[in-house]
Each structure stands twice: as C-alpha cells, then as structure tokens.
Chain A
Amino acid sequence: MDLVTPNIGLVFWTTLCFAILLFLLGKFAWKPILAAISEREKSIESALSMAEAAKEEMARLTSENDELLKQTRIERDNILREAKKVKDQIIAEAKDAANAEGTRMIERARIEIDNQKAIAMADVKNQVATLSIEIAEKILRKQFEDQKRQDQLVADLLKEVKLK
C-alpha cells in the first residue's frame, strides 16, 4: 500500500521542479530550438523549391535553344534554297539574254551583209554597164572606121526596114 500512496513531500518537490523546468526550458530552450528548426526547415524547403525552379528554367532554356537551333537550321536551308533558285534564275536569264543578243547581232550582221552585197552588186552593175558602153563604143568606133562597112550597115538596116 505504501507503494501506491503518493508522498506529499515528493508531490511538492516534483511540482516545484517540473514547474521550474517547464519555465526555464520553455523560455530558453524549446522556443529558440523549435524556432531554429522550423526556420531551417523553411529555408531548406525554399532552397529545394528554388533548385526545382532553376531546373525547370534550365530545361525551358534548353528546349528553347533547341527550338531556336531547329528554326535557324530551317531558315538557313530556306535561304540556301532561295539563293540557289535565284542563282539558277540569274544564270538562265543571263543565258537567255546572251542568246537574244547573239541572235540580234547575227541578224544585224546579216542585214549589213545584205546591204553591202546590194551596194556591191549595184556598183558592179554600174561598172559592167560602163564597161559595156565603153566596149560597145570601142567596137562601134572600130567598125565604123572604114566607109564600106558603114555603107553596108546602112544597106542592112535599110533592108530590114523594107522588110517591115
């Protein structure tokens, strides 16, 4: 029975000790300790979430970079293709122009040649005519050197007139 009968002295001292302990620890130990623990937990939490955010940002940047790179590549290909097209076009145009010019020049040359030929022909004709006249003059002069012949000619001519 002694064992389960609380002793008033021990009750008193326990109450006193516990009250003092509770007061001192509550004020000088638990409060700062709990505050420090929760503060540290908060800072760890925020550091973790910041790290997570940074990771996401990093991933976003990387994917953005990739996207950019892809776009750039496409653009480069486009530019190259465009350039090739332009080049081909320019070459084709140049070829056409050269052809046209050539044709034109050939045409002009032919016209020139024709002209020159015509002029030369006209000249030749004139000279032939002159020569023919001169030759005819010379022949006539020779034929009409003696009288007999002149007479004979007149006689021939007259014969022809008579016949008509």
Chain B
Amino acid sequence: MINGSILNSKIFRIFLFCAFFLILGGFPKLAFSQENAPESKEKKFDAKETILEHISDSHSWPFAFPFVEEKHIPLPVILYTDKGLDIFSSGNLYPEGTVYNSGKNSYKLEGNKIAVVDAAGKIDEEAGKKVMDFSITRNVISMFMGVTILLIVFLSISSSYKKRQGKAPKGLQSWLEPLIVFVRDDIAVPNMGHKYTRFMPLLLTVFFFILLNNLMGMIPFFPGGYNLTGNIAVTAVLSIIIFFVVNLNGNKHYWKHIFVPNPWWLFIIMIPVEVVGIFSKPIALMIRLFANITAGHILILSLISLIFILNTIWVSPVSVVFVVFMDAIELLVAFLQAYIFTLLSALFIGMAIEEHH
C-alpha cells in the first residue's frame, strides 16, 4: 500500500528523473577514465579544480552527453586592446595552452582568463594589463538567455493583461501575478510607504532577474548550468545600481542623519560609521547573493565529485540522495535570496526616502 503510493507519487517520479540524469552525467567521465587507465597514468581527479571551473566563467560552453567525450562550444572573444578591438572565436584557443595570434597580439588561455603571450610563448603581464576582456563568455550568453526569457514571459503576460482587462488572470499570468503582488505588497509597500510606485519597476526587475538566474543555475544541463547570480561581477553590478538608486534618491533627512549626528559631539565617531554604512549596505547585498549561490553550487558539485574522488559508482546513490536534498534546499535559497535582495533594496531605498515628521 505505502510502497505503491510512493511509486505513483509525482515527487518520486521527478526524483527518479533527476537521479537518472545525474547518473548519466557520471558515465562519460567514468567510461573515459577506465578506457585511459591502461594506456597512460590515470589522470588524478582534482575536485577543487573541477568545481572552480564549473562555478566560474569561461570562454566556452561545455556540452556533456552520455558516453560522448565532453565537447566545448566556442564563444566569441572580444578584447579591447591599445591597438583596437580584437574579435575572434575562442575555438582558436582550445585545447588549452594553444597560442593564437590575432595579428595584433598573441593570446593563450590561462585557466579561464585570456593572457597575452610574447613571441617566446611566455605570458606578458605588462601587455596583458592593456587588454580588457569584453568577451561573450558563458555567463554573458546565459544572461542573454535569461533576459530573453524574462522579456518574452513578461511582455506576453503584459499583453494578456491588456487583452483580459479587468478579468481574472489565466495561465502564466495567474502563475506570476502572486509573485508580482507579493513584491508589491510584502516588499515595496511596507518598506517604502506610499512612494513605492516609482521603484516598483526596479524592484520587480531585480527580483525576477535574480530569481530566474538562480533557478536556471540549478538546471544541470543546457539552458541552465551556469553560475550567473553566484558571480561577483553580476552581484556587484546589481548592488551598484541599488547604491546609486538609494543615494540619488536620498532626501535631506537621509543626509542629515548621516552628517549631523544627534547629539552633535558624536560626529567624530558617527560620521565615519554612517559613511561606511552607505557603502557597506550594497557590499553586503553583493556578497550575500554571491556567497549563497556559489556555496550552493559548490556543495552540489562536491557531492557529485564524491563519486569521482572515491572512483566508484557504488557511492552514487548516496551522492544522488544528498544532491536531491541539496537541490531542494537550493530551490528554497533561490527564492529566498531573490526575496532578500529585493527586500533589503526596498528597505534601503525606503530609509533614504522616508519622511520624518
């Protein structure tokens, strides 16, 4: 009775589905390593290197299919150098260590970074400083996808709002409306009062941008599998935007609170503290999101790496069970971090525009 109902339950089927993919993901490397074992000295599996490679940005999109060697899809490299823009395919730089001469400079991959090399093939640090990397990397591609998805979804539900004016929501619209109303009624209104309308587009965009990329990052294969909201550059940009919005909208009470402490003779301590506070708030936002998402990815990857560290397939059920458990927690974290980032942004903006009576 009980067993039957478990087998029939939807959750169990989803669990099986996920487990299947995770096990499939394990096969190619396993097969690969076993094939190579007799020929060369078995390449030692380095969990740290693998994990860092997965969570950081890269110039190619890795594709893994069962029983097929891992493939990399080359992505465009755009370099801004002192000799002008340098654009070429990252396929020229693979396999790692290949030196490519674009005509302006010679480059080679150093980890995930593109380094400038001199004629002798040595890395030229001086020349490297003059090169700025604006490449369409894995994270940039995934961000384009995320932005496209957000645009398609919200422009389509916006049009269905126009079509079904005054009627009850339907389909995708009814799925997303609670989230929109949640951002408005539980994040914006309590923290910003009646002036919330001006900041609603920003808060909603931030919320859905973080949420979608958090969720996409959890999907282990193609459309997802990246670590965008766990990248410090992305969270830094979001926090800087919040920083500017907070401080450009700060009213005289906000600035008075910072520069005119009460009682006045506390200014020696209070002014530095408050000024640090201006910057520490967005920095905390940046680090919180980055650390949470990155930590989640590291945890899941570590659990999967366990199979390869111990080099036995028999540990995979344990890994799979733990990974599914962690995925469930990460799902919560994905929503939670989007909520917290938006909530704190709303709180900081609210503090800056608050009217004292």
Contacts and interface: CB of A to CB of B under 8 A. Distances in A.
Given A21-B150, A29-B154, A32-B158, A8 B205 contact: no
B181 A22 contact: no
B236 A9 contact: no
Nearest to B78: A9
A41 to B, nearest CB: 9
A18 B135 contact: no
B165 to A, nearest CB: 6
Q: Is the interface of B mostly helix, strand, loop or mixed?
A: helix
Nearest to A3: B56
B47 to A, nearest CB: 15
Interface residues of B, number: 51
Contacts of B184: 34, 37
Contact of B200 (A5, A11, A30, A36): A30
B43 interface: no
Interface residues of A, number: 34
Nearest to B161: A36
Interface in B217-239: 231-234, 236-238
Contacts of B231: 10
Contacts, number: 118
A49 interface: no
Interface in B155-201: 155, 157-158, 161-162, 165-167, 177, 180-181, 184, 197, 200-201
25 contacts: A2-B52, A2-B113, A3-B294, A4-B290, A7-B57, A7-B133, A7-B137, A8-B132, A8-B133, A9-B137, A11-B233, A12-B134, A18-B209, A21-B150, A22-B201, A25-B201, A29-B157, A29-B158, A30-B200, A30-B204, A31-B201, A32-B158, A32-B162, A34-B180, A36-B166
Interface of A: 2-15, 17-18, 20-22, 24-26, 28-34, 36-37, 39-40, 43
